[in-house]
Amino acid sequence: MRILVVGGGGREHAIIKALKKCRDCGEIFCAPGNGGIAKDATLVDIGAKDIEKIRDFAVENKIDFCVVAPDDPLVMGAVDLLNEAGIRTFGPDKKAAIIEGSKAFSKDLMKKYGIPTAAYETFDNVDKALEYVKTCSIPVVVKADGLALGKGVLICETRDEAVSAVKTIMEDKAFGKSGDKVVIEEFLTGPEVSVLSFTDGNVVVPMVSSMDHKRALDGDKGLNTGGMGTIAPNPYYTEEVAEECMEKIFLPTIRAMKAEGRTFRGCLYFGLMITPDGPKVIEYNCRFGDPETQVVLPLLESDLLDIMLKTYEGTLSPEDVKFSDGCACCVVMASEGYPVSYEKGFPITMPEDRNIYVAGAKLEDGVLKTSGGRVLGVTETAPTLREAIDKAYETVSHVSFANAYYRKDIGKRALEAEK
């Protein structure tokens, strides 16, 4: 089968490497991909948000199966366009992708169907929002309604911070139209767990759990980023928690979406917090997480293409999805200064025989050079978490580029929790 993967980061590289191992996988194209992905797929010079051009490319090049990975094209309706053109595509349609595209939608869905989440209020009027934060309990979390590259969530420790958060989002429009509405919600505490799942709209099959490290600096300090590293499985996600999540969160969400006429097919990501009152939903994503995918897919033993096709066709069953008992660790190597400002264009040297996913690099005269904030996702698997972490950092020691920055404590909290 000729396959087109839409997107161009470390997540897409991990998806492509997993697809290459599949029985029916033929040539893989990637739009736009990146200089590192070029080794594993034929790059197509079309941006992920250029969804009409993507559809035209898929039709003209007789693509048999398409995977749309990033949030933007999914929320814009890329899957609808591709399906209408007769291209079988993995991913939710526009109606279902709203579960990530609008936080107000997802919060209202959870309220309506009794799915555990933080208490909240939604505002589309700045004065009302400011009025509310005068009296609400503190700390409080202020979120832009729409997509904001993972940066539209402001955790406010004081009332003044809450006031300026509302102003930043609704008046200054720091996240553009995504800030036309805000969700203001209760601050929850507890360890976070990411669970990606395959769902065909009826059956939901969770993948191995994982833990992201969102903050830029060691010890979970510094700014929020897209993710500085991941481990899998997440030790906080015990069998007991998993059962509770299936019963109270995963199945109710799939059924709720179907009942709303928004049947979700694809990868549904549950961002969970294990609070003292049990697991609650922090966010839904309508896609594979980045860098969660980089630790989850290396542990998948089943044929990813087969799973994706069954998800598309609506014939998925839990037996189709098998993971190994092993562990994985991904250390993100970023450009110093990420997520704010950073220099790029530096040559990268890295070992050929290790599992390194390329997130932000381009080829210039055959030389791979840094081109983004997150540059590489160095990933290793091993029978235990300790070994996976040690192996990943060992591989990191063989990689070099100017201005490289990475966290030294990926997996540390998970190791402590294991004890």
Residue 192 interacts with which of ligand AMP, ligand GLY, none, CB < 5 to 8 Å by class? ligand AMP
3-state secondary structure 161-199: HHHHHHHHHHHCCCCHHHHCCEEEEECCCCCEEEEEEEE
- Interface with ligand GLY, residue 212, by CB under 6 A: yes
Contacts of 130 by beta carbon, 8 Å cutoff, 6+ apart: 163, 166, 167
- Which x/- pattern over 235-274 shows residues binding ligand GLY (rule: CB under 6 A)? ----------------------------------------
Interaction site with ligand AMP (CB under 6 A): 118, 141, 150, 153, 155, 185-188, 192, 214, 271, 282-283
The distance between the two most distant Cα atoms of the chain, rounded to a whole number of Å, is: 59
Residue 185's binding partner out of ligand GLY, ligand AMP, none, with CB under 5 to 8 Å set by partner kind: ligand AMP
Residue 116 · residue 249 · CB < 8 Å: yes
CB of 290 to ligand GLY, least distance (A): 4
CB under 6 A: which stretch of 139-147, 201-209, 282-290, 297-305 binds ligand GLY? 282-290
**Residue 232 forms beta bridges with which residues?**
328
Which of 40, 72, 145, 292 is in the footprint of ligand GLY by CB under 6 A?
292
231 binds, options ligand GLY, ligand AMP, none, Cβ within 5 to 8 A by partner type: none
Angle between helices 103-113 and 251-259 (to 10 degrees): 100
User: Measured between alpha carbons, how far is 208 from 270 in angstroms, rounded to an integer?
Assistant: 12
CA 55 to chain centre: 23
Q: Cβ of residue 264: shortest distance to ligand GLY, in angstroms?
A: 17
Span 72-131, contacts to ligand GLY by CB under 6 A: none
Q: How far apart are CA 125 and CA 85, in angstroms?
A: 40
Q: Encoding tokens for residue 410?
A: 């990926």
Please report how close the Cβ of residue 388 comes to ligand AMP at its closest, in angstroms.
Answer: 22
Is 337 a binding residue for ligand GLY by CB under 6 A? The answer is: no
Q: How many residues does the chain have?
A: 419
- Among 36, 289, 298, 326, interactor with ligand GLY by CB under 6 A: 289
Q: Which is nearer to ligand GLY, 162 or 195 (CB)?
A: 195
Separation in Å, CA 253 to CA 32, 197, 294, 327: 32, 12, 25, 28
Residue numbers of the site for ligand GLY (CB under 6 A)?
Answer: 150, 212, 227, 285, 289-290, 292
